[in-house]
Amino acid sequence: MTFGPGIIMPDSLLGIDVSHHNGTVNWSAVASAGVSFAYAKASEGANVQDPMFVQNYAAMRANRLYRGAYHFFHPGTDASVQARHFLALVPELASGDLPPALDVEVGDGQQPSAIAAGIRAWLQEVEDAIGRPPVLYTSASFWNVNLAGAIGFDRYPLWIAHYTTEPQPHLPSGFTRHTMWQYTDSGQVAGIVGVVDLDRFHGTLEELKTLAKP
């Protein structure tokens, strides 16, 4: 099976993340290919729902994948409105569900302090609703430039995006560790037509189970 590009680490836990851009996913084939966990886009901004979310989220559970949902954040839109929009779409977390993730990769022309404040507001509101810290997705290049090295976010599990063949990703300022690594956006996995984002979980299967709701 083909997972590249990137360094293939047979003992690492492989994950993918998808949205409607990946079309209809054959989740049975994905699970059979050795994928352990997956995130599906649920929402974006204040009112956008990914049209494949409901189908993807249900099929991930049906095929015994550790599953999560993510929200694409727009700093120029009220963070509380975005959090409520996301929470209205995502079912109550159950056993095997990973914490929701906040995808931070656009600045919308906002100042670093405003972006940081919006991120904090979304993370806190979602944490209050689900009872555990959400995951924060970003890249070092975006974070260091657009948030001017904002600190105080390292209590959240970091899902780092860094497309490289290096053995470890570059981390944003203020972070010393990562939980997941999106290491390519051009992987190939059985059950998906075209390319897909590939992720590695930085830990053991037991640690992945711990991150998922017990």
Structure tokens at 69: 């949902």
Catalytic residue among 44, 92, 105, 127: 105
Structure tokens at 46: 């204040």
Cα–Cα distance measured from residue 209 to residue 196, given in angstroms and rounded to the nearest whole number: 24
In angstroms and rounded to an integer, the radius of gyration of the C-alpha atoms of the chain is 16
Catalytic residue among 17, 44, 103, 125: 17
Cα–Cα distance measured from residue 102 to residue 126, given in angstroms and rounded to the nearest whole number: 10
Is 17 a residue of the active site?
yes
Cβ–Cβ < 8 Å for 151, 113 = no
CA-CA-CA-CA torsion sign (84, 89, 92, 94): negative
Strands 158-161 and 180-187: parallel
Is 105 a residue of the active site?
yes
Burial class (CB in 10 A: 0-12, 13-18, 19+), 175: middle
Cα–Cα distance measured from residue 138 to residue 71, given in angstroms and rounded to the nearest whole number: 12
Catalytic residue numbers read: 17, 105
